[in-house]
Amino acid sequence: MNFKIHDKLIHEVESPEGLLYRMIIIYTCFMTAFIAILFLVIGDTTKINFYFFINSCTVTVMVWFIRKSFNILSRDIHLLAFRVSLFFLLNSALASMAGGLNLIDRDTASVIAALLYVPAMLVIIYSFNKFIDYVNHNYKSAVSLSLTDELTGLPNRRHLNVKLRELESRAGTICIADIDHFKKINDTYGHEAGDKVLRNMGLRLSSFVKDEIFISRSGGEEFAIIIFDNTNAEDVIRNIKTSVSDGCNGSIGVTLSIGVAIKQKEDSSSAAITSADNALYRAKSAGRDCIMYGQRYRS
């Protein structure tokens, strides 16, 4: 269900929604006026009681609810059912109003109001449950989109920051991998080819993702890898580098420079990231296409 708010919708006379909304308003005004005039002509004005004002308020509230429902831009059948149920409740209130003014027998009015009220409430409950499902589904989708890099399909920098907070009190390995000479790839083959390389990288790297291995695109041609609890960290890093260099980009040769930092429980994630960054810089200075470890790892 698409519940996008559109404030102008009910003001557009030419739209079907705008026409239907106006028909409901006209119907409500006509029925309310009809009941009021009929009461003034044949009724006893001394019998106006508290219930008349309650029903009047109920009718006003139902019209307001219907109006707000027409601010929802959706073609979904559940929204239509919700509007129909509101219309039933409106007529239930009108029947109660007529009964309260003794224009029709009160017992008859009560039966009519109940026959309209019960199915209306059942449909509202059903529509509300569907709306909850819609909200939950779209909330999960929105969260997923906000944490995913659009080009590679890998987690993005925001998701990486979440994982770094999770790593704060744990031991693990942090790697920063950078595609060698990526600017040259863009300059030689074009940016579309560069994007294709990044997409292929995303596909290749995603095959290594597990519960204890997190891989994200941290920016540009740079990727961050977190291996929780140092589970076979060295083997995983070597396999990643070998896999990417195995010609997954057709005629474009791709290699990785990787900086690695081992984080102990007492180390901060930011310090480990800095160590991995420094190791990556040394890997670049050493000629690229290699793996360098932070000093803490060697001590």
Per-residue confidence in pLDDT tens, the chain, 299 aa:
444 444 554 445 556 666 777 788 788 888 888 888 888 787 666 666 677 778 788 888 888 887 777 776 666 777 778 888 888 888 888 888 888 777 888 888 889 888 988 888 998 888 888 888 877 888 888 888 889 999 999 999 999 999 999 999 899 999 999 999 999 999 998 999 999 999 999 999 999 999 899 999 998 999 999 999 877 899 999 999 998 876 555 678 889 999 999 999 989 999 999 999 999 999 999 999 999 998 754 43
pLDDT in the model for residue 298: 41
Q: Classify residue 201 as exposed, middle or buried by CB count within 10 Å of its CB (0-12, 13-18, 19+).
A: buried
29-32-34 Cα angle (round to 5): 105
pLDDT in the model for residue 209: 93
Question: Is 0.75 topped by the overall pTM?
Answer: no
| Three-class DSSP category at 218 | strand
In the set 14, 17, 150, 221, the catalytic residue is: 221
pLDDT in the model for residue 129: 87
Q: How far is CA 199 from the centre of its chain?
A: 24
Structure tokens of 13?
A: 């006379």
Is residue 221 flagged as an active site residue?
A: yes
Structure tokens of 104?
A: 């029709």
Structure tokens of 246?
A: 């195995």
pLDDT in the model for residue 42: 78
Residue whose structure tokens are 């060697």: 298
On whether the CB atoms of residues 10 and 70 are closer than 8 A, the answer is: yes
Listed in sequence order, the DSSP H helices in 75-105 are 77-100
On whether the CB atoms of residues 214 and 163 are closer than 8 A, the answer is: yes
For residue 5, the 8-state DSSP code is E
Structure tokens of 267?
A: 């180390």
